[in-house]
Structure 1
Amino acid sequence: MSKKRKKKEHHEEHVDESWLVPYADVLTLLLALFIVLYGMSSLDAKKFSAMAEVFNQEFQSGTGVLDFPSPAPSKEEKNLDTNEEVENNQDDSKSVSDEKLKELQKEQDQQELAEVQQKVNAYIEQNNLGGKLETELTDEGLHVSIRDNVLFASGSAEVRDADKNIVSEISKLLVMDPPRSIIVSGHTDNVPIHNSQYSSNWELSVTRALNFMKLLLENNELDPRAFSAKGFGEYQPIASNDTAEGREKNRRVDILIQPREEVTN
């Protein structure tokens, strides 16, 4: 009797199958993971991020397997970044090109002024005017300086008749195509003027510059719109007024042939 009972009880015992539940969960998680990984190449980044967050909340606590704080950028985002990079490179290239263009324009401009300087220097040499007419090429332009005793009597602003031919020859050298802006300026030494016609050296310098410019513009090939006249009196000396030689240099009429304006796009 006892043997039958024991045998019966032995057949009623079952194998513990509680391990199947976590095993099934692990399989489910692995399947979901492989599906997600398989679809990563075509899955939209925002949808992928949302799906990852759902899986992490459902299956994990804390940081989960699918927790990606920086998901791979979508094709649209990559294209946007590429376009921005191309635009930046184009801006940099345009800036470099503009700077190079300005440098080339400046070099060409200086070369043109140097050619004008050579013509003026040739005229000075041919007419034995060395020491009376001088030229200097700077970043401001081409300076042509004419001593006042070449053109004017002492204390006078009227160009002497005998010297008007010099003004006429200089006007021919100023014909350029297209025209350049030209400033004619009068200068004196610091010795006060003593006559009834001019009350100051400043007034004398202005009148000399204006009269000289009028004679230049008798050449119809020059454009009056490109010219202007200024008077500086004794306030822009190029030599010391303490000596007779220095004062002689300061009494002058200057012609400034300016660089062309830079082309802007």
Structure 2
Amino acid sequence: MSRRKKHHEAHHEEHMDESWLIPYADILTLLLALFIVLFATAQVDQKKFDQMAYAFNTAFSGSPSIFDNNQAITPELNSAIPNQQAAEGTMGQEQLQETVQLSELKKQIDHYIQENKLTGDLNTTLTEDGLMIRIKDSALFTSGHADLRPESLRVGEEIAKVLVPLTQKIVISGHTDSIPINTSEFPSNWELSSKRAINFMKFILSSEKSLQPERFSAIGYGQYRPLEANDTIDGRAKNRRVEVLIMRNFRK
């Protein structure tokens, strides 16, 4: 009788010892759910990663990308996003400042044009590329020639003065109408437009010795970039021109 009782008690104690499995299983389930949540929240947003990669590659241009290997992403990389936004903000301010600068320069040149009654010969336009100064060919040259007229030198001198304080690149281009030219000096409109652009550029540089020649370039487009159709006298007159483009340093 005593042995049977002791055996029953031992069996009861063994059964009671297994009851811990239920809360243990619950704990494992909770831990699994926790790890799933942590894993899901730890996934890298691909778009943000691409933004960070772009920012770092830009900052370290010319060097191997730090994303070429598969190293783990550290928290410090999050600073790339605000840094990129700051850089974009700075670029926006510089673009705005340059636009204001070119606008003021346009007003200055327009005032000179009005004072000297040159509205039929010169005009200015502010574009996405920069400030464009257009000069009618007859204000600078005689028909079919590329030598500057003596009375046109003052225009070149005034343009040279306003270019002195600038840091932008300057492109001077020559344009003609579609009427062919065939002389010993100018076999085609290519040669005529190119020579006019070069001669005007050389005069501007000679007028102000402080101008940096490496900032200047000259090109001839012939009749291939008309402003208007060449089927009227007025249209052809507008197409014969020299353009001075003050190129923006900061563009979108």
Aligned residue pairs total 216
Partner Cα distance (2:171, 2:128) in 1 = 15
What is the match of residue 169 of structure 2?
A: 181
Change (3 A) 1:13 1:108: closer
- Partner of residue 70 from structure 1, selected from 29, 32, 35: 32
What is the match of residue 132 of structure 1?
A: 121
1:184 Cα offset (Å): 0.3
Residue 99 in structure 1 maps to residue 88 in structure 2: yes
Q: CA RMSD in A?
A: 2.9
Structure 1 segments unaligned to the other structure (5+ residues): 1-11, 35-51, 53-63
Residue 244 in structure 1 maps to residue 233 in structure 2: yes
Residue 144 in structure 1 maps to residue 133 in structure 2: yes
Structure 2 segments unaligned to the other structure (5+ residues): 44-71
What is the match of residue 186 of structure 2?
A: 198
Which TM-score applies when normalising by structure 1? 0.72
Partner Cα distance (1:174, 1:204) in 2 = 25
Which TM-score applies when normalising by structure 2? 0.76
Residue 117 in structure 1 maps to residue 79 in structure 2: no
SS of the residue aligned with 2:125?
Answer: strand
1:31 Cα offset (Å): 6.9
What is the match of residue 214 of structure 1?
A: 202
SS of the residue aligned with 1:217?
Answer: helix
What is the match of residue 10 of structure 2?
A: 21
Mark the structure with the bigger radius of gyration.
1
1:231 Cα offset (Å): 0.4
Change (3 A) 1:184 1:22: farther
Alignment of 1:81-92 (within 5 A): 86-87=75-76, 89-92=78-81
Does structure 1 retain, via aligned residues, the 8 Å contact 2:91–2:250? no
Change (3 A) 1:28 1:213: same
Change (3 A) 1:87 1:210: same
